[in-house]
Amino acid sequence: MSIDQQELFALPAEYRDLQAEARDLAASCADIAARADEADSLDTDTRKRLRASGLARVVVPARFGGRYERVDSLAVTLVREQLAAESAHLDSLFAMQGIGSYGIAVGGSEELQREWLPKVANLDAIAALGLTEPHVGSDLKALTTTVVERDGKLVVNGHKSFITNGGDADFYSILAREGDGYSLVLVPTDAPGLSTQRPHQIIAPHVLGDVILENAEVPIGNRIGEQGKGFGLVLATLATFRVSVAGAAVGMAEAALREAVRHANGREQFGVNLSRLGSVPEHLASSWTDIEMARSLTYRAAAAAARDARGNLHLSSMAKVGATEMAARVIDRSVQIMGRFGLVRGGKLERLYREARPMRIYEGSTEVILDSLAKQLIKDRH
């Protein structure tokens, strides 16, 4: 391969610089990562350091204090790859600023955008997206939350569950039925009729809560986009940010492999260095190969999503499935290589093992995404 051909596979300088910034932020949070990753409420130190880095500006358009003209899927993915390698809490805080506010960025009124997006960029306001309900997960069209106009207000009723940043967010972008369609509505935390609770905790501690809306009232101007067209905004959000989950998975897998290599190189068993014993070399080489294949698809999908997120959702979906399933394999192998040392509660690898498991479920489970991809494949090739 010539030098010129090699350059075709290199990230532009601005993206490499962004990676370096994210890597520096992740390193600066290493001393608080173990504590933050066990928290079920927002870690104030993590928030301060993310704010100081300015990286949250990546998830907001430039005219509202952001870094790029519009939200760039590749930039978000590259940042998440670095942050997730060190702290799931840091990664989630960064990602949710974009996921919770993207509907406003692309469909909100000028007034809503000017009120909330600069606060999101500076972490003066914490964002959240309210989709799932106690009995509604992947089948969002079955949701029961409703919004109606009454006396010059929007009145929202429903129960949203397993909401990231639930209980700590300053506003929620709530998907609700309105007439024959679905609308997205911005509901601030201080809206009358909104309350939160934390009835659940998952295997990897997470800022997670339920949002209860009992005749919650907001101005009519808090409807994000057109009445009944909220589903399109949700799909646009998923199309833009789904591939970034793959970036986070690649970062986590690489962090696990680093731990496994360090351990294997520094340990001797049966008179042989562990890195040369039995199946360990194969596990290490297979993991390295898996990571690089997943990274290649992830970068390709993220670059395509940056150009046309909705038009390339199939690539983002493939990357999300491929990278999260890969991370599960690589981290499991790494635990096996480290043996009992990989099982120590609170250790880096044990945390990665727990944090990787939910990634195969949220933002579209592997099975649901594969079913959707199969339908698209059959339709396109018919």
pLDDT digits (tens, 9 = 90+) for 2-20: 334 344 458 999 999 999 9
Mean pLDDT of the 155-181 span = 97
Is residue 37 within 8 A of residue 3, CB to CB? The reply is: no
Mean pLDDT of the 233-254 span = 96
Share above pLDDT 90 across residues of the chain, in percent, rounded to a whole number: 84
Domains of the chain: 3-125 (1.10.540.10), 128-226 (2.40.110.10), 231-381 (1.20.140.10)
Can you give the pLDDT at residue 1? Answer: 30
The residue ranking higher by pLDDT, 263 or 21, is: 21
Mean pLDDT of the 319-341 span = 94
Tell me the C-alpha distance between 223 and 243, whole Å.
27
Can you give the pLDDT at residue 2? Answer: 34
Can you give the pLDDT at residue 6? Answer: 40
pLDDT greater than 80 at residue 376: yes
Can you give the pLDDT at residue 9? Answer: 59
Tell me the C-alpha distance between 313 and 334, whole Å.
31
SS (H, E, C) the chain: CCHHHHHHCCCCHHHHHHHHHHHHHHHHCHHHHHHHCCCCCCCHHHHHHHHHHCHHHHHCEHHHCCCECCCCHHHHHHHHHHHHCCCHHHHHHHHHHHHHHHHHHHHCCHHHHHHHHHHHHCCCCCEEEECCECCECCCHHHCCCEEEEECCEEEEEEEEEEEECCCCCCEEEEEEEECCEEEEEEEECCCCCEEEECCCCCCCCCCEEEEEEEEEEEEHHHEECCCCEHHHHHHHHHHHHHHHHHHHHHHHHHHHHHHHHHHHHCCEECCEEHHHCCCHHHHHHHHHHHHHHHHHHHHHHHHHHHHCCHHHHHHHHHHHHHHHHHHHHHHHHHHHHHHHHHHCCCCHHHHHHHHHHHHCCCCCCHHHHHHHHHHHHHHHHC
pLDDT (tens digit, 9 = 90+) per residue, 80-100?
Answer: 999 999 999 999 999 999 999
pLDDT (tens digit, 9 = 90+) per residue, 35-91?
Answer: 999 999 999 999 999 999 999 999 999 999 999 999 999 999 999 999 999 999 999
**Is 258 exposed, middle or buried (CB count within 10 Å of its CB: 0-12, 13-18, 19+)?**
middle
pLDDT (tens digit, 9 = 90+) per residue, 190-229?
Answer: 999 999 999 888 888 889 999 999 999 999 999 999 999 9
pLDDT greater than 50 at residue 133: yes
Mean pLDDT of the 317-336 span = 97
Mean pLDDT of the 107-122 span = 97
Region at 35 (left for phi over 0; alpha for psi -120 to 50; beta for the rest): alpha
Q: Estimate the crossing angle of helix 13-28 against helix 73-84, to 10 degrees.
A: 30
Can you give the pLDDT at residue 363? Answer: 86
Query: Average model confidence (pLDDT) for the chain?
Result: 93
Q: Binning pLDDT at 50, 70 and 90, where does residue 137 land?
A: confident
